[in-house]
Amino acid sequence: MSRKNPNHIKNGSVAADVVIYAILLLLALICVYPMWYVIIMSISEPIHAQTLDVYLLPKGLYWGSYKDTLSDAKVWTAYYNTIIYAGVCCIGMLITCAMAAYPLTSPMLVGKKFWVIFILIPMYFGGGLIPTYIIMSKLGMYNSRWAIIFPGIVSMWYIILVRTYFATIPEDLRESARIDGANNFQILWNVYVPTSKPIFAVIAIYTIVAQWNSWFAASIYLTDEKLQPLQLYLRRLLILQQNLANQTQNGAGGTSDSEELAQKMILSADQLKYTMIVVATLPVMVVYPFLQKYFVKGVMVGSLKG
């Protein structure tokens, strides 16, 4: 009986296995193929990229569009800006998280309940786009790197996350350090920070990826191209140009001549666009498979809910 049963289940599930493996493969392809298509289009011979007959593998090999893209000084400026924003926000975020989370776990803090609520309220009730914009402008952050950095170095979520992690560290450690004469700064730096490296790794990675991919704040506050990050450059290239072409295509005044011109512009620009996507996205694409465990950990810790 017990030998027969497992066999029975197995027999019934071979067909099911094939179906399940196939569905999952299809889903994975849907996730990966668009990026793959962009990559092979970007390195195919321009002829093939224009006639759009590239589907599975690059046709020919052509680095011209990469040469064009990488010789554009604006791309490098945007790259530099993105790295600055991601780096500074990451470091700032780690510092403020550690600093703010520590007092919230200390039994000595007077008014702890008040400060916990102080941190929770903005998670429920936002200040709104326009008032935020007015305040930031009044503080002179319009068209300044601070518009990105200042809001980017504090997160209520991450403070709560770190606080939760800190709370698991035995109180004895703090007490014994205190008896040894250490002050709170020393305890935080020498006891709490070293034992909480995993959670800081999670926050660092989330912050960097979020900054690398963000565009909204920059589009509101940064009109100066010299300050704009990569994503705004991408937006101009991928979205705004396309919208413009779309308008001339659909516009009542559009003659067939200008329509053709617009069409041509889109076609030849496609390869450059795809190249720019690869240039901007490659760092994240290459790194994320190796950081997976941190992302998974982030989701898990986040779901534990303090």
Partner 1 sequence: MSTAVANKPKMSSEKKKMLFKDNLELYILLLPAVIVMLVYCYAPMFGYLIAFQDYTPGAGFWGPNTKWVGFYHFLRFYDSIFFGRLMSNTLWLSFLNLIWGFWVPIVFALLLNEVQHTGYKKCIQTASYLPYFISMVTACGMLISFIATNGLINRLIVALGGTAQPWRNIPGKFATIYVLMNIWKGFGFNSILYISVITSIDSSLYEAARLDGANRMQQVFHITIPSIIPTIAIMLIMAVGSLVNANTDMILLLYLPSTYETADVLGTYIYREGLTGGKFSFTTAIGMIQSIINFVLVFVANTISDVLTGAGLF
Binding to partner 1 (CB under 8 A): which residues in 18-47?
Answer: 20-21, 23-25, 27-32, 34-35, 37-38
Instruction: Tell the smallest beta-carbon distance from residue 209 to partner 1 (Å).
Output: 7
Which residues within the stretch 150-189 sit at the binding site for partner 1 (CB under 8 A)? Answer: 150-151, 153-154, 156, 159-160, 183-185, 188
In the chain, the largest separation of any two C-alpha atoms, in whole Å, equals: 84
* Burial of residue 292 (number of CB atoms within 10 Å: 0-12, 13-18, 19+): exposed
Which residues within the stretch 184-223 sit at the binding site for partner 1 (CB under 8 A)? Answer: 184-185, 188, 209, 212-216, 220
Do 208 and 90 touch, CB atoms closer than 8 A?
A: yes
CA distance linking residue 306 with residue 303, whole number of Å: 8
Rule CB under 8 A: is residue 79 a binding residue for partner 1?
A: no
Rule CB under 8 A: is residue 253 a binding residue for partner 1?
A: no
Token couple for 152: 């980017």
The set of long-range contacts for 166-174, using a CB threshold of 8 Å and a minimum separation of 24, is: 166/101, 166/102, 166/104, 166/105, 166/192, 166/196, 167/105, 169/105, 169/195, 169/196, 171/107, 174/106
Rule CB under 8 A: is residue 91 a binding residue for partner 1?
A: no
Instruction: Tell the smallest beta-carbon distance from residue 63 to partner 1 (Å).
Output: 21
Among the listed residues 18, 91, 129, 282, the single contact to partner 1 using CB under 8 A: 129
Q: Which is nearer to partner 1, 47 or 267 (CB)?
A: 267
**Contact range with partner 1 by CB under 8 A, out of 58-66, 71-79, 126-134, 194-202:** 126-134
Which residues within the stretch 130-149 sit at the binding site for partner 1 (CB under 8 A)? Answer: 130-136, 139
Scan for tokens 């909204």, then name that residue.
Answer: 216
CA distance linking residue 213 with residue 41, whole number of Å: 22
Which residues within the stretch 285-304 sit at the binding site for partner 1 (CB under 8 A)? Answer: 285, 288-289, 292, 295-296, 299-300, 303
Do 177 and 187 touch, CB atoms closer than 8 A?
A: yes
Q: Which is nearer to partner 1, 43 or 237 (CB)?
A: 237
